[in-house]
Amino acid sequence: MAGTTITNWFGDVTSHPRVVVEAASVDEIIKILKDPDHYPSPVRAVGSNHSTPPCGVAEGGTLIKMSKMNRILELGTDTVTVQAGAIAIDIAHELEKHGMQFYVNTEIGSLSVGSAACAGTKDASMPGEYGQVGSYITRIGMVLPSGELLDVSDDQPELIQKVRSSYGTFGIVYQATYKIRPILPMAVRHETFKLADFLAKLPQLMTSGDSLMYYMFPYEDLITVEFRHYNPGATGDPDKHVWPLRNYMWAKAGPLFSAQVEANISNKTVRYKVIDGFCAVWRFKLENLVRSENTVATDQIISYPPVADASRYTFSLWAFPEELYPSVLPLYFAFCKKYYHDTGYRNNMLYVGYRILKDRQSLLSYSWDGNVMTIDPVSTGNPGWTTFLPAYNQWCSDHGGVPLPNQTPLATRAQIEKALGERWKQFAEARRTFDPKNRLLNDFFRDLLGE
């Protein structure tokens, strides 16, 4: 396909590659990279294209769609090897048939293996575990810009650490191996706190033995925490309705309702009263219906349609050192209220956040220096969202936050350099080593790297 317009899943990032190829084999990827006359630079590869920044844009270049390369190649006793175009929810369901599960059962089921292997993800860390999918990927196969193959594993810790956060700028991932485990029963419950109570109890919550994911309502000073822990002593059949209810409210009903209210109620005071009322119902359902001592972790993963529909939503993310969070969070709630007062804009969905444990498995890990907690606004892209994001980004940067290149739209080079420091320089140097002719370098990464 030539002269095609491609968007990300949400539809707000546009790319105009000269050539689009749906790769079906490693040999096709090799052919593309070795033939710049027919497949011009930059060459970028995408799976479901869920990134909120333009990581996968190939303006004037070649876009490789990986979804045809979706086979499970080998299922072992504690690992699974999969082609790069397979998506998380499909793999998870197959693992479940064999009594196995991922370590990190991240929410976005459309996450492709290729993206998980070389880009950042987020999920609340289970006690004593990592919260980033790539940290449990132990082997990665890539086609280098030269067309040669590279196989890197945990036996090369410094190299795989760089590759896990290479964002497709070192080579095109064609397969990866995950570390997996037997299915364990998992308990879940929800509790809502006033902001002051949450902050007072946060030290206790951090040592409770539960993972912490939370829904934030800054205009009402409320936080609903989702507590999870593995519960191997659970008996009987797992509860299979709990997570589908949560996922339906979060990924379908919530954004669809918010978008309809945004479109049909012009008075913003009334509009947001209606949305706040929906959020109150949401909290009630979480607290009273989404609770069980025996669920399957795989059921957390959400099935999103391949093409976004009227329930689509977008988001951003900044992570903060957990020791700063008790002072940062109330200041952020105040920032949201002031921004709404001054501009008349607020995002029309809730905020979410995650507690993620210290993790140095990837070079650009946002929890490299220690445990972090995040602030993630969620929106249907209502008018004012793209004006809000730069203000939000600057506020987060000024207060010690760390962005994620594929999940923090409109973050600037200065903000990323401030947050990642020497590690961003190491990434830039490694990228030039792998791709000296800039075969894979698009304008987005060129700008962020100052190339």
Q: In this predicted structure, what is the pLDDT of residue 4?
A: 84
Residue 189 bridge partners (DSSP): 227
Q: How confident is the model at residue 119 (pLDDT cuts 50, 70, 90)?
A: very high
| Side-chain half-sphere exposure of 451, counting CA atoms within 13 A | 21
What pTM does this model have?
0.96
Write down the pLDDT at residue 2.
Answer: 55
pLDDT of residue 120: 96
Q: Are 380 and 255 in contact (CB under 8 A)?
A: yes
| Residue where one domain finishes, among candidates 183, 206, 223 | 183
Same domain, 113 and 254: no
- Whether 160 maps to a domain, the answer reads yes
401: containing domain: 185-415
CB atoms < 10 A from the CB of 116, how many? 30
pLDDT band at 93 (very low <50, low <70, confident <90, very high): very high
Pairing verdict, β 43-46 and 14-15: unpaired
435, part of any domain? no
Whose CA is closest to 226, among 133, 301, 290, 183? 290
CA dist 225 and 82 (Å) reads: 34
363-391 pLDDT, tens per residue?
999 999 999 999 999 999 999 999 999 99
Q: Quickly state the pLDDT bin for 1 (edges 50, 70, 90).
A: low
pLDDT recorded at residue 3? 62
In the numeric block, which tokens belong to residue 135? Answer: 């940290």
Task: Give the residues across from 211 on adjacent strands.
Answer: 228
Q: Are residues 176 and 210 in the same domain?
A: no
pLDDT band at 63 (very low <50, low <70, confident <90, very high): very high
The structure tokens listed for 279 are: 């959020």
Look at residue 318 and tell me if it is in a domain.
Answer: yes
**How many CA atoms lie less than 13 Å away from 236 in the CB half-sphere?**
7
Are 219 and 346 in a shared domain? Answer: yes
Together in a domain, 142 and 17: no
173 shares a domain with 156:
yes
CATH at residue 207: 3.40.462.10
DSSP state letters, 97-125 = HTTEEES---SBTT-BHHHHHHS----PP
Residue type, 374: T
Based on the fold, state whether residues 90 and 149 are members of the same structural domain.
Answer: yes
The 10s digit of each residue's pLDDT in 207-229 is: 999 999 999 999 999 999 999 99
The 10 Å CB-count burial string (b at 16+, else e) for 421-436 is eebbeebbebbeebbe
- Using an 8 Å Cβ cutoff, are 109 and 87 in contact? yes
Q: What percent of the chain has pLDDT over 90?
A: 99
